[in-house]
Amino acid sequence: MNKERKLIIAGNWKMNKTVAEALALVKNLKLEVEKVKEVDIVVCPPFAALESVSKEILESKNIRLGAQNVSENNFGAYTGEICIGMLKEFSVRYVILGHSERRQYQKESDALISKKAKAVLGASLKPIVCVGETLAEREGGLMEKVLETQVRGSLAGLTSEQMNETTVAYEPVWAIGTGKTATTQQAQDAHAFIRGILAKMFDENTARKVRIQYGGSVKPNNAHELMSQQDVDGALVGGAALEARSFADIIKNSI
């Protein structure tokens, strides 16, 4: 597939996989995607497995490590949190921020996500900032309003240079883990809308370079169609990333 922007496909393992299971998964994945050069591949294991997975992909040319979240603070009395310095010890390159599950269960706000994004970028890591509407919001005709608020709020205060290092993930909440995928047209429309907001916030050139991933029930059988849309520049994959073969098939089918 001839894309304007290099595809970035990330696996979000969420709260799944013990260290042993994570290692088995990444070992198999390495073999499956050995020859892939066309896609930036990212795996985001739970914190407890970061060190082992990091060692396993140390020499990998195409698989990079991501974390699922990070604190906006650098150290201190924040029980249960993890800071950027700790992630960097394991050569983490990407950090998912503002996933809808964190927005919902941890009540993460756009303002907090923007603080985290600035901290991540300040430490030369790359944020993957998630946005997306719920079913009620879509059905209530609020999709554009919600996306605009989230994009503007979560990326507030970033410079164009920082935006060049940032990936946006469009994940309609109603499609996550439900087996319901947005149609290719729905995905393309939302991505184009988000790119338009980025052009207004930053400039046309910056917006053109930003990679926007689609997330929500991406599977081997729908990856190609989704990735063939002009403004879809990759995928953030949950369930189908928990198995090496299906994640690899998503990657291969996207090329």
Q: Which residues are near ligand PGA by CB under 6 A?
A: 12, 171, 176-177, 215-218, 236-240
Angle between helices 220-227 and 244-254 (to 10 degrees): 30
The rounded Cα 134 to chain-centroid distance in angstroms is: 18
Q: How far is the CB of 22 from ligand PGA (least distance, A)?
A: 17
Whose CA is closest to 214, among 244, 199, 242, 192?
Answer: 192
Kindly name the residue from 56, 72, 99, 191 that is annotated as catalytic. 99
Q: How far is the CB of 239 from ligand PGA (least distance, A)?
A: 3
Residue 64, both tokens:
């990079």
Is residue 99 among the annotated active site residues? yes
Measured from the CB atom, the residue of 202 and 216 that comes closer to ligand PGA is 216
* Helices and strands: H and E segment counts in the chain: 12, 8
Q: Biggest alpha carbon distance in the chain?
A: 49
Q: What is the dihedral of CA 135, 137, 141, 146, to 10 degrees?
A: -130
Q: How far is the CB of 50 from ligand PGA (least distance, A)?
A: 18
Is residue 171 among the annotated active site residues? yes
Measured from the CB atom, the residue of 108 and 206 that comes closer to ligand PGA is 108
One DSSP character per residue, 197-247 reads: HHHHHS-HHHHHH-EEEEESS--HHHHHHHHTSTT--EEEESGGGSSHHHH
Measured from the CB atom, the residue of 55 and 245 that comes closer to ligand PGA is 245
Measured from the CB atom, the residue of 202 and 227 that comes closer to ligand PGA is 227
Q: How far is the CB of 182 from ligand PGA (least distance, A)?
A: 11
Please, are residues 93 and 68 in contact by the beta-carbon 8 Å criterion?
Answer: no
Kindly name the residue from 56, 72, 101, 171 that is annotated as catalytic. 171
| Residue tagged 């050139």 (tokens) | 205
Q: How far is the CB of 205 from ligand PGA (least distance, A)?
A: 28
**C-alpha–C-alpha distance, residues 35 and 116, integer Å:** 34
C-beta nearest to ligand PGA: residue = 238
Measured from the CB atom, the residue of 127 and 216 that comes closer to ligand PGA is 216
Report the catalytic residues. 99, 171
